[in-house]
Structure 1
Amino acid sequence: MAVSKAKKPQVMKPATAAQKLDVYLPATPREFQDRLVSRDELDELQRNPPEWLVDLRRDGPHPRNVVAARLRVSNSGLARGGVTEALTTEEIAALAADPPEWLVRERESFAEVRREQRRLQERRD
């Protein structure tokens, strides 16, 4: 009878874990940034987020994909608008409250792309 080896836990780099948690890696605690994260640890962080994760998700700074989603533009639209850094929730709210011309333009473009995607999807269904 063959003896099976103990299953090695699946681990990921901190950058991958931060991406899966939708947080900006440089804003996470040093102990999170400096070690590999197991799949079980990631699942636990998602189920029972510690205070630092709750605060980071609420206040930021947020990674580009989260900033883009909150502003309702694409990641490329952010770049065209000159937004290259992570933004806090407060900074995102300020942009949304008084949108610069680039943001208005990018939102319109993004909405048009989404409408076209829905139209094509409906034709396929």
Structure 2
Amino acid sequence: MSTRPPSSQSMKPATAAKKLGVYLPATPEAFRDGSVTRTELEELERNPPEWLAELRRNGPHPRPVVARRLGVSIAGLTRGGITEPLTTEQIDDLRQDPPAWLDTERATFKAVQAEEERLAATRKTQEPAGS
């Protein structure tokens, strides 16, 4: 990664980690201490190095990834007491033997998604013709 300060064509490591879907503190020091250009980010996405593939495969995973894999919102994770990153193994354990809070949060998440889809469909049918 580049050691120059972030510019309009480069991003901070935290931004790059978020775009890559990885937990920043688990990335190599060279990644955390530099900046990442858009070209470097695209290359990491196209040809992930072993450390990136390993993080994506086994974690620890940031909360947005944990929430997506469990089928809940980030707020739902917090309500369930999950405030730290989880490994793939921990996520799989929760999926195999879901606690009551996880079942509740999944149902809530599905209901919210269904309502958002319903509202989007309603707005779409209410758009004036020709717009």
TM-score (norm 1): 0.91
Alpha-carbon distance in structure 2 between the residues aligned to 1:19 and 1:123 = 33
For structure 2, the residue ranges without an aligned partner over 5 or more in a row are 1-6, 125-131
* 1:100-111 → structure 2 map (5 Å cutoff): 100-111=99-110
CA distance in 2, matches of 1:119, 1:15: 35
Q: Give the partner amino acid of 1:113.
A: V
SS of equivalent residue, structure 1 residue 73: coil
Match of 2:117 in 1: 118
Question: Aligned runs of 1:16-95 on 2, under 5 Å?
Answer: 16-95=15-94
The offset of 1:122, in angstroms, is 1.4
Query: Structure 1 residue 9: deviation in Å?
Result: 6.7
Note if contact 1:9-1:38 (Cα within 8 Å) is conserved in structure 2: no
Q: 1:76, CA displacement in angstroms?
A: 0.2
Structure 1 residues 117 and 34: alpha-carbon distance in aligned structure 2, compared to 1, 3 A threshold: same
Q: Kindly provide the CA deviation profile for residues 102-123 of structure 1, in whole angstroms up to 9, marking residues without a partner as x.
A: 1111001000000111111111
**1:124 Cα deviation (Å)?**
1.9
Q: CA RMSD in A?
A: 1.1
Q: Distance in 1 between matches of 2:37 and 2:121?
A: 40
Question: Structure 1 residues 108 and 38, CA, compared in 2 at 3 Å: closer, same or farther?
Answer: same
Measure how far apart 1:42 and its partner are.
Answer: 0.6
Deviation at 1:45, TM superposition (A): 0.4
State the SS of the aligned residue for 2:61. coil
Shift of 1:78: 0.3
User: Could you list the runs of 5+ residues in structure 1 that have no partner in the other structure?
Assistant: 1-7
Equivalent residue pairs, number: 118
Runs of at least 4 residues of structure 1 off by over 4 A?
Answer: none
Deviations 1:64-102 (A, max 9, x none): 000000000000000010101100000000001111111
Q: Deviations over 1:5-29 (max 9, x none)?
A: xxx7711110000000000001111
